[in-house]
Amino acid sequence: MVEFYYHDNQDTQDNFTEAHNSGKEVSVEELEAIGVFYKYVPTIDELNEIATKRNYKNRDVVKLNLAAFNHNLDAYNAKMTQFYKEHYHEDEEIRYIVDGEGYFDVRNKGDTWIRAKLSPHDLLILPAGIYHRFTLSDELKEVEAIRLFKDEPKWEAINRDTGRNTEAREEYVKAIAA
């Protein structure tokens, strides 16, 4: 079952896949205020209804685990480090968890990390332009997720440390400032 809480900011290069739960919960309403959509979706039929309503035309399935990296822990860790680098995309990021679990961290209006621990049947939609990062949980080290897209995905991760602000980022900032 989903958990939303403020990140404890005690993460390091060696422990970022741990829970990092500050003990301070975050409500769905707080996430909605920054444009993040969450819903528990128990069936694929219900997911398909949401996809139709939101005009998602394409999808794929991604499986991340040690086996996906031929049990090469170094390659696995390198990919987790890449996903954990703070970035945004010019499209929404839509994930439906089929199996396993993972953490999505998003920045709130005050630039504080909020962590979402997602498990099977959790659907999370991040708006275009929101800073975020992702990692698998240290406990399971695996996730199977359906990725949904409105069109062909634009997978460029625009890292925060580049200072680059695209139209998607500027529109997002305006939207949450209101």
Q: Classify 149 as helix, strand or coil.
A: strand
Global pTM reads: 0.94
Q: What is the pLDDT of residues 36-56, one digit of tens each?
A: 999 999 999 999 999 999 999
> What pLDDT is attached to residue 178?
72
Rg of the Cα trace of the chain? 16
Model pLDDT, residue 160: 96
Q: Report the distance separating Cα 171 and Cα 7, nearest Å.
A: 26
pLDDT in tens, 8-37: 999 998 899 999 999 999 999 999 999 999
Residue 154's pLDDT is: 66
Which of helix, strand or coil describes residue 59?
A: strand
Angle at 74 between CA 89 and CA 93, to 5 degrees: 15
| Mean pLDDT estimate for the chain | 94
The CATH homologous superfamily for domain 3-169 is Jelly Rolls (2.60.120.10)
Rounded alpha-carbon distances, angstroms, from residue 3 to 21, 23, 86, 107, 134: 10, 11, 20, 16, 15
Q: What is the pLDDT of residue 152?
A: 77
Residue 171 CA to residue 47 CA, distance in Å, equals 27
